[in-house]
Structure 1
Amino acid sequence: MNAWRIGIFLFNDVEVLDFAGPFEVFSVTTFENGDKPFKVETVSENGELVCARNGLKVHPDYSFANMPSFDILIIPGGFGAREREINNDTVINWIADKMHTVQLMTSVCTGALLLAKAGLLKGKRATTHWASLERFQSEFPETEVIEGVKFVDEGNIVTSGGISAGINMSFHIIKRLLGSEVAKQTAKRMEYDLVI
């Protein structure tokens, strides 16, 4: 089978575990025969070096202009998402446009605010970091905001709660696409306590 191509959006002040958690989960997933079902890459608006929260510097693989077509897109959160990117029309329009081409659009933490701003969560259930739930409900009343969960699966859109919840969401997606056994083996490889 061809590998699922996963793109993770990066931007200045992105929360590190928001993107690094899913990156790790999908990157280490391996079938018994050694094949890897996911190819994980990163993309930013201009492809230049990104300074994540607390100073971690990451160089994206692609810019919006030269990125390939992805099957799954992950939109992380953090200060940069909720304070800057939500007001960046280029990013919001890009997310809205990619919804037409990806098989699965996902968010971690306040990345859900970007999905909502792009109009993708109208009439849907979604979640985000607990500290942004009230803002989420206030700014996007057409979305049913769910509290106290790690993730919300709405079919072609999956949103997850704050920071480490992106790891839970990633395992859920693996289970959904490849089955419980692959998810369990990946969790074992990571020494992660997975409840399925």
Structure 2
Amino acid sequence: MVRIAILVFDGAEELDFVGPWEVLSFWAREVASEPVEVMLVGPSTEPVVCAKGLRVLPDRTLEGIGALDVLLVPGGSGTRALLTLGDPLHVALRSHAEAGALITSVCTGSLVLAAAGLLRNRPATTYWSCFAELLALDETVEPRRDDRFVDDGDVVTAAGVSAGIDMALHLVRRIAGVEQARAVRRGIQYDPEPPV
């Protein structure tokens, strides 16, 4: 069983987690050759109000959910409230990382990873206008300003918003192989051709 948790919190950017949710849930339900569980986790199981007003109900909290294979932290304006040193979320992130979970972020979720000490001496990306914030949190981060996502082994960061979809497809490829990732891309008809 592959267990994937996607964090949600007040002010989370919707597409940062809904894009990866779509990719990973489609994989779990339609393509995966082994069981895959994808869940939303939050500070509680009460509804959270996201950056653009979407209300979301987390399935569980991070406490007591057991071992994870992947933990994804989205970005959004709400990340700034999660940057306080010693935040319980940081302890949980480090604990899951130490237990072997692949820690991932989309957009300014990388700021939370940096505040938790998980990006020290690593390459990483974030939303295009937030590299100064990232480096203020940890000056040892090697900024990858032009990368859609950066895979540094046990930590994967994605640039802003839609880059989370690319990163999620990369996660499927990394965990289950290129054929399953291609099947997911085809299944969700992800063939970006921006009109502008």
* TM-score relative to the length of structure 1: 0.90
Evaluate the alpha carbon distance shift between residue 87 and residue 30 of structure 1 in structure 2; reply closer, same or farther with a 3 A threshold: closer
C-alpha deviation, 1:63, in angstroms: 1.6
State whether residues 28 and 38 of structure 2, in contact with CA within 8 Å, keep that contact through their aligned partners in structure 1: no
- How many matched pairs? 191
The amino acid across from 2:152 in the alignment is E
2:158 equivalent among 155, 160, 163? 160
Unaligned runs of 5+ in 2: none
Pairing 1:80-119 to 2, within 5 Å after superposition: 80-81=78-79, 83-87=80-84, 89-119=87-117
Unaligned runs of 5+ in 1: none
In structure 1, the residue corresponding to 2:157 is in which secondary structure?
strand
The amino acid across from 1:159 in the alignment is T
The separation in 2 between residues aligned to 1:37 and 1:191, in whole angstroms, is: 23
State whether residues 29 and 37 of structure 1, in contact with CA within 8 Å, keep that contact through their aligned partners in structure 2: no
Between 40-49 and 96-105, report the one with greater CA deviation: 96-105
1:122 equivalent among 120, 124, 127? 120
The separation in 2 between residues aligned to 1:185 and 1:192, in whole angstroms, is: 10
Where does structure 1 differ by over 2 angstroms across 4 or more consecutive aligned residues? 30-38, 64-69
Evaluate the alpha carbon distance shift between residue 18 and residue 36 of structure 1 in structure 2; reply closer, same or farther with a 3 A threshold: farther
Evaluate the alpha carbon distance shift between residue 33 and residue 7 of structure 1 in structure 2; reply closer, same or farther with a 3 A threshold: closer
Say what the alpha-carbon RMSD is for the aligned residues: 1.9
Evaluate the alpha carbon distance shift between residue 34 and residue 145 of structure 1 in structure 2; reply closer, same or farther with a 3 A threshold: closer
C-alpha deviation, 1:85, in angstroms: 1.2
The separation in 2 between residues aligned to 1:116 and 1:104, in whole angstroms, is: 15
The amino acid across from 2:41 in the alignment is V
The amino acid across from 1:107 in the alignment is S
The amino acid across from 1:177 in the alignment is I
Q: Give the aligned partner of residue 41 of structure 2.
A: 43
The amino acid across from 2:121 in the alignment is G
The separation in 2 between residues aligned to 1:139 and 1:85, in whole angstroms, is: 12
The separation in 2 between residues aligned to 1:7 and 1:192, in whole angstroms, is: 22
C-alpha deviation, 1:188, in angstroms: 0.5
Pairing 1:1-196 to 2, within 5 Å after superposition: 3-29=1-27, 35=33, 37-81=35-79, 83-87=80-84, 89-193=87-191
State whether residues 29 and 36 of structure 1, in contact with CA within 8 Å, keep that contact through their aligned partners in structure 2: no
Between 158-167 and 128-137, report the one with greater CA deviation: 128-137
